[in-house]
Structure 1
Amino acid sequence: MHRLIFGVSLLAITTSAQAGEVKFKPLLDTRLRYETVDQQGIAKDADSVTMRVRSGAELSKGPFAFLAEAEATLAIDQHYNSGVNGKATFPIVADPQNIELNRIQLQYKTKPLTVTVGRQRINLDDQRFVGAVGWRQNEQTFDAVRVEWSGIKNLKADVTYSWSVRSIWGIDGGKFGATNRPQAMSGDNIFATLAYTTKIGTLTGFAYLVDEDETVVALRRNSSQTYGARFAGAHAFSKTVKLSYAASYARQSDYHTNPVDYSADYYAAELGLEAKGFKLTGGYELLGADSSAPGIAGSVFAFQTPYATLHKFNGWADKFLTTPAAGLEDKYIGIGYTVPKVGKMGPLAAVVTYHQFGSDVGNRHFGYEWDAQLSLKTSKRTTILAKFADYQRYGISDFAGDADTKKFILQLDYIL
């Protein structure tokens, strides 16, 4: 595939270059991160220091553009379980060492139409169902054909066919018995959205069809068909006061290779009020479960979003990357404050969020979590970030990995 895309790209760029100059854009994205994890039930604390570099270039002329980008992650301090390095005596920090071709794509772009072919980054809507997992050092990318069309005013159609998803587990994916953490997941996936923008917000209908071809049963359980809608918008009362709102509903059921016969619902709602630098946010999210499905634990199976940017949702301790078999209810409230300028630096942004977690089936109470983050943009290209998460479970563990967990992250980003 790489040779085909590269050959077609060179042909397109060379042909275009005959009529004018080819534009060259260098790409560089680096991140140095320290992460420590203290998890109950695991004797040793995780301490990871990782450095990630993405570098590449984009050549463009007229409507054509060819992009190639490599990604490399180096583990400077390896006292952690990366998920695929076999170090099970430490808690997981899902940033394994890696070197790979992160993106290689050919794009055709005009005002109403964009077509992208190859290994690419895809973030759809709020990334609840499809995203690049930008928080992790190794990005999730898609071998795909994506078509975006906006030929009618206020209307946008976005359809993707993906035959392989390159995971965050990198070149060691699947090693040391971690067969449910492969380097890539092959299949026939279709992601489709249709968005209509109004004065009060954007209404988006979506269909996500995930069809895993993998032999591992745990991966085939991700095969699903999800149909739903989301509405999101904002209203400004004045120059300093704004209300934002969002609501989503979806219905998911088994699809093609999934061995479990199930169906489950998804609900989400969020309100945010901003005033003079402060922002108060409150929300509710439910990933439902089917109590009649003969799934995990022999009793229930829940709504799953395997290709989402999961760290964005349900707490930064990452306890619910896989929805518990009994489903997940997340009630949360947060407050943030932003200072636009700190001397010659800024913005400086702080946020604190509290979550209460429970189940959809069985009235279980999983636990609660406090999250906090402080970020400062020190220059046009550089950002410093500190993040803390503290998850405390209630009573007896209800699902694999349910344990009191504290995380602290300190990182430095530089983007060209």
Structure 2
Amino acid sequence: MSLKLLSTSMLMAFASHAAANDIHDALSNSTAYADFNLRYESVDQDNALKDASSLTLRTWLGFSTGSVNGFSFTAEVEDSRIVMGQDEFTVGPTGFNVGEYSVIADPETTELDQAYIQYKNDNFTARVGRQVITLDDHRFVGHVAWRQDKQTFDAVSAKYAVNKELELFYSYLYKRNRIFAEAADLDSKDHILHATYKSKVGKFVAYAYLLEVDNDTSNALDTYGVSYDGKMQGDSINWAYGAEFATQSSESGSAETAVDFDASYFNAYLGATMSGITAKIDYEVLGSDDGLYGFATPLATLHKFNGFADLFLATPTQGLQDVKLSLSGKAAGGKWLLAYHDYSADESTAEVDDLGSEINAQYTTTFAHKYRFGIKYAAYDAGDIKVDTNRFWMWVGTRF
């Protein structure tokens, strides 16, 4: 009995010592970072609202431990502050200057941006807690990090690499932490399913996004889709091309108040790069259901699509067709972009057909190896709906 007790005590002491060493190694291999982004934004719209302007500083402070038997922990705090009293803008969901100025969606906030436990081995990764989730080009699921308060999710997620070609991803989202601080966060019961297959001829993706807001009402937004992206190198021109198609059903209410809509999504693009200049044409259609409902992507990084002026963050009920022509390249150590959008309704009516056009320009660069600088402009010329809008941004940031 004494020998057994001694053996057990020695094993427990050794295990405790080994665990202590593992924790020490994990903390020794931890990383911390700080990221700052100071941005000026102005908005001039042809309506009764006052022109808006803001100067805000966004700060991220993050910490990730090393791994213990595949487990690690990450936490990130985010803060956004108005600088030098430049607060002439409206953030509707937070109640800030409601109805006075044009919208600049950068509320003052301090919040826990990420906090998750991760398990990872050679081909499997799982996370539990508040986290960033992005898929593909952010068209359906993104972090909206363009805004000063980025979008994260309270979720359980898992990614499994079946082999070098096939990767599977699943996540259950139980809260959407949106870009308006806590004022517009939504409890949810969302299922995200995503599969990627990489082959010699390109990348194939299939997905199902089954979304539901957890608000004690009957609602569902289900989207199923597939996409393909390919590349081809020529003697003097490199080509990029792809297409995507999705169907969506939206259901809300019950019994006599039940409403059910169906819409589809289509995108196709072709790009050519020669002598460092890329010319690209995109054709995107967010469909309509008889002019009563427009295809929706509520988890997307919407600023990236349908123009920098942010006039189509919500799809019109008539749907949206967007023909985009763009040129991009490098100059003076940075990257530049010029784009033109032509918008029209997917299902036209006598009153709504032409949805306007827009010109976008952007230049970004880094300097002194650690600092980033950017400038961006959007000019929207209204059609049958919306109003003429000009937006301008200038920002500088760094990361430690």
For normalisation by structure 2, the TM-score amounts to: 0.89
Cα displacement string for residues 210-269 of structure 1 (whole angstroms, at most 9, x for unaligned residues): 001236x9xx87x3100010111212224x632111210000002466953010010001
Per-residue deviation, 1:40: 0.8
Contact map agreement 1:211 1:257 (CA 8 A) in 2:
no
Cα displacement string for residues 118-154 of structure 1 (whole angstroms, at most 9, x for unaligned residues): 0000001111111000110001000001100002230
Q: What code does the residue aligned with 1:354 have?
A: Y
Cα distance in structure 2, aligned partners of 1:324 and 1:286: 12
Distance 1:257 1:154, change over 3 A: farther
Alignment of 1:69-108 (within 5 A): 69-76=76-83, 77-83=86-92, 84=94, 85-108=96-119
Partner of 2:344: 358
Cα displacement string for residues 272-326 of structure 1 (whole angstroms, at most 9, x for unaligned residues): 11112111010100000111xxxxxxx6111100110000100000000000011
Partner of 1:225: 222
Alignment of 1:137 with 2:123, yes or no, is: no
Contact map agreement 2:90 2:105 (CA 8 A) in 1:
yes
What are structure 1's unaligned runs of at least 5 residues?
1-10, 174-181, 292-298
Contact map agreement 1:211 1:255 (CA 8 A) in 2:
no
Q: What code does the residue aligned with 2:108 have?
A: Q
Contact map agreement 2:25 2:66 (CA 8 A) in 1:
no
Cα distance in structure 2, aligned partners of 1:196 and 1:51: 40
Distance 1:384 1:119, change over 3 A: same
Distance 1:18 1:328, change over 3 A: closer
Contact map agreement 1:334 1:353 (CA 8 A) in 2:
yes
**How many aligned residue pairs are there?**
372
Per-residue deviation, 1:383: 1.0
Cα displacement string for residues 341-366 of structure 1 (whole angstroms, at most 9, x for unaligned residues): x4xxx3x1111100001111125111
Partner of 2:195: 194
Distance 1:47 1:18, change over 3 A: closer
Partner of 1:160: 171
Cα distance in structure 2, aligned partners of 1:256 and 1:195: 31
| Residue among 174, 180, 185 paired with 1:169 | 180
For normalisation by structure 1, the TM-score amounts to: 0.85
Alignment of 1:237 with 2:244, yes or no, is: no
Cα distance in structure 1, aligned partners of 2:49 and 2:67: 56
Cα distance in structure 2, aligned partners of 1:373 and 1:126: 19
Q: What code does the residue aligned with 1:271 have?
A: L
Cα distance in structure 2, aligned partners of 1:108 and 1:95: 33
Per-residue deviation, 1:19: 8.0
Contact map agreement 2:57 2:80 (CA 8 A) in 1:
yes
Cα distance in structure 2, aligned partners of 1:266 and 1:33: 34
Contact map agreement 2:162 2:168 (CA 8 A) in 1:
no
SS of the residue 2:365 aligns to:
strand
Cα distance in structure 2, aligned partners of 1:15 and 1:242: 54
Q: What code does the residue aligned with 1:372 have?
A: A
Alignment of 1:265 with 2:270, yes or no, is: no
Partner of 2:8: none
Aligned-residue sequence identity (percent) comes to: 32
Contact map agreement 1:211 1:256 (CA 8 A) in 2:
no
Per mean C-alpha deviation after superposition, the further-off stretch among 248-257 and 202-211 is: 248-257
CA RMSD of aligned residues (A): 2.0
Cα distance in structure 1, aligned partners of 2:302 and 2:242: 18
Alignment of 1:109-124 (within 5 A): 109-124=120-135
Cα distance in structure 1, aligned partners of 2:21 and 2:194: 32
Cα distance in structure 2, aligned partners of 1:70 and 1:356: 39
Partner of 1:6: none
Alignment of 1:9-408 (within 5 A): 17=22, 20-22=25-27, 23-62=29-68, 63-76=70-83, 77-83=86-92, 84=94, 85-171=96-182, 173=183, 182=184, 184-214=185-215, 223-238=220-235, 241-255=237-251, 259-291=258-290, 300-339=292-331, 342=332, 346=333, 348-362=334-348, 364-394=353-383, 396-397=384-385, 402-408=386-392
Partner of 1:176: none
Contact map agreement 1:159 1:192 (CA 8 A) in 2:
yes
Cα distance in structure 2, aligned partners of 1:135 and 1:241: 31
Distance 1:41 1:158, change over 3 A: same
Cα distance in structure 2, aligned partners of 1:60 and 1:120: 17
